[in-house]
Chain A
Amino acid sequence: MQLLETSEAELVQRVAAGDNEAFAALFDRHSSRVLGMLIQLLRRRELAEELLQETFLQAWSQADRYREDRATVCGWLLMMARSRALDHLRASRSRSEREERESTESSTPQVTEPVGTGELEARERQRFVLNALAGLSEDQRRCVELAFFKGLSHGQIAAELEQPLGTVKSRILLGMRKLRAALEPVCPT
């Protein structure tokens, strides 16, 4: 009950000090969202769960490095998870196989039934974000989607879209700025 009222930053401080209960609470609060993103990127549930474990082990070992003025706790976890997933994707030797598999799938997730509590809220948030993405120009949306949902780098996106690197960078920057304004109602404070 006490942990439920603990702020995110306090929770991470307790994790840094070796508090197992705080760590369990951190995992319970954020793991579903992190795993959802990992599955979207990796397309393999088993691998995603493995990287989820690695991400939270990193959080345990590096909790003292978390800076409240630089990232939300969820954002911090998502960034660590993305970094691991992207390393994995970029090191993957079966790149062509993956691309072939992905080419048959939309890079944007469909609204599906989420698991666990707060389902309605999660579904509403999902719709809201997908609508915000749909509000970008086609070029911006494509670049942001390739970066976020497929985990491609600037260079990879430029190659895939056959566009200059600078164009891709500016499309992502402008797209993300536009998204920020559109997503403000659902942004964490």
Chain B
Amino acid sequence: MNQDHDLYLDSIPSYVLGALDDAELAALEAHLETNCAECNAEMLRASRDLEALAAANTPVAPSAMTRARLMAKIDDLPPARPLLGPARGERRGVSWLPLAAAATLAVLAWSGWTQLDLRRQLNELTAQRAADQQQLAALRSDLDRAQYELGRFALTNRILAAPGLQTVRLAGLDAAPQASAQALVSSVEGKAVFYASNLEPQGPDKTYQLWVIAGGAPISAGTFELDETGGGSLVVENLGTDAPIEAWAVTIEPAGGVPQPTGPMVLMGSAA
């Protein structure tokens, strides 16, 4: 018996390689059915040997088609051990237990359906509420913008109606020869309205910045964006200086503007 066992044990390395002949294979598999602890342990070691030996082969990734086909096939195959449901061939016959279970399932199903319907309604209401809130936020944004534009329009009218309004024309420089602009300046109000046209759009990291030059130093009057026609405007609520303004200029600067000009000058006009 011990001699037989040693033979089984010794044949396990060949078993994992698949080298056993039919008779040897049948004998070993019959022995393994006895759940021999020593042979189980040797099987585990031999499977590790096989895994290590397989590293001698170059791993090859299977095609996506093979994977996809396999995944599709298992959808149609029952798993080895389903989590739910009775195993095939379970005893048949009428008993109270299945009836009670069926009744319970029916109640659970009805209750589940009701819960599902309520959940569906709740989801719909939640979605509707979210859509309403989104619309309300958009309307508020439109209103804020309209109020801002109205204030800007009123301010522009006041500047234009102010006595001693001065018009300064700015001409396009080499960087934008086709561009032009004008500033309508109220010295009384200390404010101005600026309009530019035919400027080239800049990327999101750049902006146009308006400068007033007084006492030889540039003072930022603000930044402005272009509309789709290449035009831009700016209401300057505070010229930022009591000194006489000598000139107006526009440069291209990093988005958000800078305290002192750094980029190319595209428009320039003398206030004199």
User: What's the Cα separation between A32 and B40 when bound, in Å?
Assistant: 27
In angstroms, how far is the closest chain B Cβ from the Cβ of A153? 5
Q: Contacts A49-B66, A157-B19 hold; do A36 and B59 have CB atoms under 8 A apart?
A: yes
Closest to B82 in A: A18
List of A residues within 8 angstroms of B49 by Cβ: 176, 179-180, 183, 187
List of A residues within 8 angstroms of B45 by Cβ: 180
A9 at the interface (CB under 8 A from B): no
User: What's the Cα separation between A79 and B14 when bound, in Å?
Assistant: 11
Majority-rule SS of A interface residues: helix
Q: How many A-B residue pairs lie within 8 Å, measured between CB atoms?
A: 205
User: What's the Cα separation between A93 and B62 when bound, in Å?
Assistant: 27
User: What's the Cα separation between A8 and B25 when bound, in Å?
Assistant: 27
| CB under 8 Å from chain A, chain B span 38-64 | 40-41, 43-63
| CB under 8 Å from chain B, chain A span 87-127 | 108-109, 111-116, 122, 125-126
User: What's the Cα separation between A169 and B40 when bound, in Å?
Assistant: 20
- A153 with B19: CB separation less than 8 A: yes
Q: Contacts A113-B58, A129-B55, A153-B21 hold; do A63 and B81 have CB atoms under 8 A apart?
A: yes
In angstroms, how far is the closest chain A Cβ from the Cβ of B46? 8
Interface string of B96-121 (1 = CB under 8 A from A): 00000000000000000000000000
List of B residues within 8 angstroms of A19 by Cβ: 79
Closest to B19 in A: A147
- B59 with A23: CB separation less than 8 A: no
Pick the residue among A116, A154, A157 that contacts B61 (CB under 8 A). A116
User: What's the Cα separation between A74 and B52 when bound, in Å?
Assistant: 10
Q: How large is the interface on B (under 10, 10 to 19, 20 to 34, 35 or more residues)?
A: 35 or more
Pick the residue among B14, B51, B61, B71 that contacts A188 (CB under 8 A). B51
A173 at the interface (CB under 8 A from B): yes
User: What's the Cα separation between A53 and B67 when bound, in Å?
Assistant: 8
Q: Contacts A40-B57, A63-B79, A79-B50 hold; do A148 and B17 have CB atoms under 8 A apart?
A: yes
User: What's the Cα separation between A165 and B160 when bound, in Å?
Assistant: 112
List of B residues within 8 angstroms of A34 by Cβ: 54
- B71 with A60: CB separation less than 8 A: no
Q: Contacts A17-B79, A71-B43, A154-B24 hold; do A126 and B14 have CB atoms under 8 A apart?
A: no
B77 at the interface (CB under 8 A from A): yes
The residue in B18, B46, B63 that gathers the most chain A C-beta atoms within 10 A of its C-beta is B18
- B70 with A27: CB separation less than 8 A: yes
Pick the residue among B13, B61, B66 that contacts A115 (CB under 8 A). B61
Residues of A within 8 A of B (CB): 15-20, 23-24, 27, 31-37, 39-40, 45, 49, 52-53, 56-57, 60-65, 67, 69-72, 74-76, 78-79, 82-83, 86, 108-109, 111-116, 122, 125-126, 128-130, 133, 144, 147-149, 151-155, 157, 169, 172-173, 176-177, 179-180, 183, 186-188
Identify the 4 closest CB pairs spanning chains A and B, nearest first.
A75-B47, A18-B79, A71-B47, A176-B13
Q: Can you list 6 contacts pairing A with B, beta carbon distance less than 8 Å?
A: A20-B75, A36-B60, A37-B57, A78-B50, A116-B59, A176-B17
A72-B47, A129-B52, A186-B55 given; name 8 further pairs at CB < 8 Å: A15-B80, A16-B81, A18-B78, A36-B57, A56-B70, A76-B47, A122-B55, A147-B14
